[in-house]
Amino acid sequence: MIKQLSLDSAKLLKKSPKFRLGFAITLAMVFLSVVGLIASPYADEGWGLVSPEALTRQGLPPCLPFSCPSLSHLFGTDEMGRDLLSRILVGTHIALLQVVSVLLLSLFLGIFLGILAGYSNRVVEKLLTYLTELFMVMPSFIVAAAFVVVFGRGMLTVIMALVLTWWPWYAKTAYTIVRGLRELDFIVICEVMGASRAYIIFKHILPNTLPIVLVQAIGDAGSIAIEIASINFLIGTASAQSIDLPEWGMIMGYGLRYIRTYWWITIYPGTFLLILALGLVLMGDGLSEYISPVLRRRWKSWI
C-alpha cells in the first residue's frame, strides 16, 4: 500500500499545480521547523528562557522598511526581551507536530469507531452513532478549556480536546462507506465463504475506507491548524504569566494585551500561520480535485 501511495503522490505532484504549490509551501515549513530546532539565532530564548541580557532589550520593534533598531533581532523582541524570530522558528515544529498528531489520532479513532459502528450488531451500531452525534456537538475550545483546568496547560491538553471533537467527522464518513459496502455482493460472498470478520475488515473494508477518509482529513488539515492556534490564542489571552512554550497561537494570544505597543508579537507569528495553513489548504484542494473527475472537467458558461 505504501508503494501505491508514493506512486499516487508522484502523479499528483506532476498533474496538479495546486498540490505542487501547497506541497512546496508545507515542505518549506518543515525545513523551517528543522532550522528552528537546530539553528535558530537565540535558541534558548526560542524555548522560553529569559536571560538577564534579554531583559535589557524588552519590546524591541521589528525591522521595517525604514527603521531597524537591531539587525540581530529582525522581528524584534517580545515583552520579556526574547527574540521573536527565534520564538517563531522554534514554534514551527510545534505547529506541525500538533496538526499531525490531531489528524493521525482522530483519523485512527474515527476510522476505528466508524468501521465498528458499520460492521457490528445493531446495539453497537446504535450506541456508536449516538456517541458520534454527541461528540459532534461538543465545542472544541470549551472542552479544551475544561481540560486545561483539570490537566494543566500544555500541548497535550489541546490536542486531546481537538481529537475528541474531530473524530466524529471521520467516524461518520467511515460509517457511511462501510454501510454502503455491506450491501455489496462481494462482502456477502466473503462472509458466506466463512471468512472471519477481522479478515474482511482488513482486506476489503479498510482499503476502501481509508483513502476516502484520508482525503477528507488532508482537506481539513488547514482548518485544524487554525483551530489549534485559535484555541491556544484564547488560552494565551487568559494567561496571567508569560508563555514559555513558543506555540504560535499562544504567543499571539498573550501578546494581545500589548497590541497597542508591541503589536508585532501578535502580528508576526500570524503571517507564518497563514502561510502554513495556505500550504495545507492548497494541498487539500489539489488532492480533492485530482480524486474527483467531476471537478477536473473543463468548464465554461452554459448560459
Size of the site for other proteins (CB under 8 A): 57
Which segment (53-61, 72-80, 209-217, 293-301) binds other proteins by CB under 8 A? 293-301
Is position 54 an interface residue for other proteins (rule: CB under 8 A)?
A: no
Q: Rounded to an integer, what distance in angstroms lies between the CA atom of residue 114 and that of residue 169? A: 9
Beta bridge partners of residue 110, listed in sequence order: none
Cell numbers standing for residue 56:
535589557
| Chain-centre distance for alpha carbon 185 | 38
Element (H, E) at 301: none
Q: Rounded to an integer, what distance in angstroms lies between the CA atom of residue 149 and that of residue 65? A: 43
Q: Rounded to an integer, what distance in angstroms lies between the CA atom of residue 107 and that of residue 121? A: 23
Q: Rounded to an integer, what distance in angstroms lies between the CA atom of residue 71 and that of residue 216? A: 44
Cell numbers standing for residue 217:
482529513
Is position 262 an interface residue for other proteins (rule: CB under 8 A)?
A: no
Is position 298 an interface residue for other proteins (rule: CB under 8 A)?
A: yes
**Grid cell 508591541 — which residue?**
262
Among 27, 49, 146, 189, binds other proteins (CB under 8 A): 146
Least distance between other proteins and beta carbon 33 (Å): 18
Which segment (44-52, 68-76, 206-214, 231-239) binds other proteins by CB under 8 A? 231-239
Is position 128 an interface residue for other proteins (rule: CB under 8 A)?
A: no
67 SS3 class: strand
Least distance between other proteins and beta carbon 271 (Å): 8
Which stretches of the chain bind other proteins, using CB under 8 A? 130, 133-134, 136-143, 145-146, 148-151, 222-223, 226-227, 229-231, 233-235, 237-240, 249, 252-253, 256, 259-260, 263, 266-267, 270, 273-274, 277-278, 280-282, 285, 294-295, 298-303
